[in-house]
Amino acid sequence: VPAAPPAPLGCDDPESEAAAEVAVNYINGQSHHGYKFALNRIEDVRVVSQGPNNDIIFLELDLLETKCPILSPTPLANCTVRSFAEHAVEGDCDVKLQRLDGVISVLASKCHSHADSSEDIHRLCPDCPLLASLNNTEVLETVSAALNDFNSKTTGPYLRLLEIGRGQIQYHPAHIIAVEFAVGATNCSAEEAKVNVGACQLLPEDQSNFGFCTGTMVKLPSQDLNVDCQLYGHQVPTPDTPLLSRVFQPTSQDTS
């Protein structure tokens, strides 16, 4: 007896949302660069029956970049989506899933990401800083200066750059370059690195040895540099903050 065709799903049906949650977790789990993405909208869903209790689900998803670096231990549910004014980045994904006896798993996914157009940002927010290319000279200069500055002052391990996550440049009312970058702890202290930086090797690939930095360089009207770095495995709880909330909510977004 041929299987009855599966009931069509709407994009906001609980089954579609359950499949989308599995898909987003899979997509973030497969990525090793940039930031975690969160679901913004289910664009389309199609279900094809493969037999009793066996369906193939095709999803089209619209995702938005969050502020959580991909290496961050913060659960996606606690990650803040970047606002439109921060020059949002969108991800478009096609995902193929299987639902077998009620268990959903991802078979394949394909994603493209792109930043919102600069024209849109400027039209709605003329003074908002725009995303710059990650190999922009001013971005590279700011990352280098920020990391050097942090390493020159820290009493912790010497940090090496893993990747630049974001760079934004604002020209008015001041010339400001804001950067975000991922770092890895090395087997050297910052003091030891001053003697022979070439001998400093990244510690084993473990989440506790990764971290994240934010830096801003003001060029005009006067020169100023601010940087803050937080290693995910080296977060010190403050007396007025419960341990767990400090561990899972790194303060890498703070400025100092």
Partner 1 sequence: PVAKRAVAEAAQHDKVARPVGFVPLPPPCPGKIRHFDI
Residues in touch with partner 1 (CB under 8 A) = 8-13, 16, 38-45, 62, 64, 81, 83-84, 88, 90, 116, 120
* Residue 7 three-state SS: coil
Would you say 88 or 202 has its CB closer to partner 1? 88
Would you say 93 or 162 has its CB closer to partner 1? 93
Residue 9 Cβ, how far from partner 1 at the closest point, in Å?
7
* Residue 251 three-state SS: coil
Residue 117 Cβ, how far from partner 1 at the closest point, in Å?
9
Residue 42 Cβ, how far from partner 1 at the closest point, in Å?
4
Does residue 179 contact residue 205 with C-beta atoms inside 8 Å? no
Residue 12 Cβ, how far from partner 1 at the closest point, in Å?
4
Residue 119 Cβ, how far from partner 1 at the closest point, in Å?
12
Show Cβ contacts of residue 15 under 8 Å, excluding neighbours closer than 6 positions.
9, 99
Would you say 99 or 160 has its CB closer to partner 1? 99
Which residues are 148's β-sheet partners?
none
Would you say 42 or 159 has its CB closer to partner 1? 42
Greatest pairwise CA separation for the chain in angstroms: 78
Would you say 77 or 195 has its CB closer to partner 1? 77
Would you say 81 or 106 has its CB closer to partner 1? 81
Residue 90 Cβ, how far from partner 1 at the closest point, in Å?
5
Spatial distance between the Cα atoms of 108 and 98, rounded to a whole number of angstroms: 10
Show Cβ contacts of residue 31 under 8 Å, excluding neighbours closer than 6 positions.
37, 70
CB atoms near residue 48 (< 10 Å): 11
Spatial distance between the Cα atoms of 17 and 8, rounded to a whole number of angstroms: 14
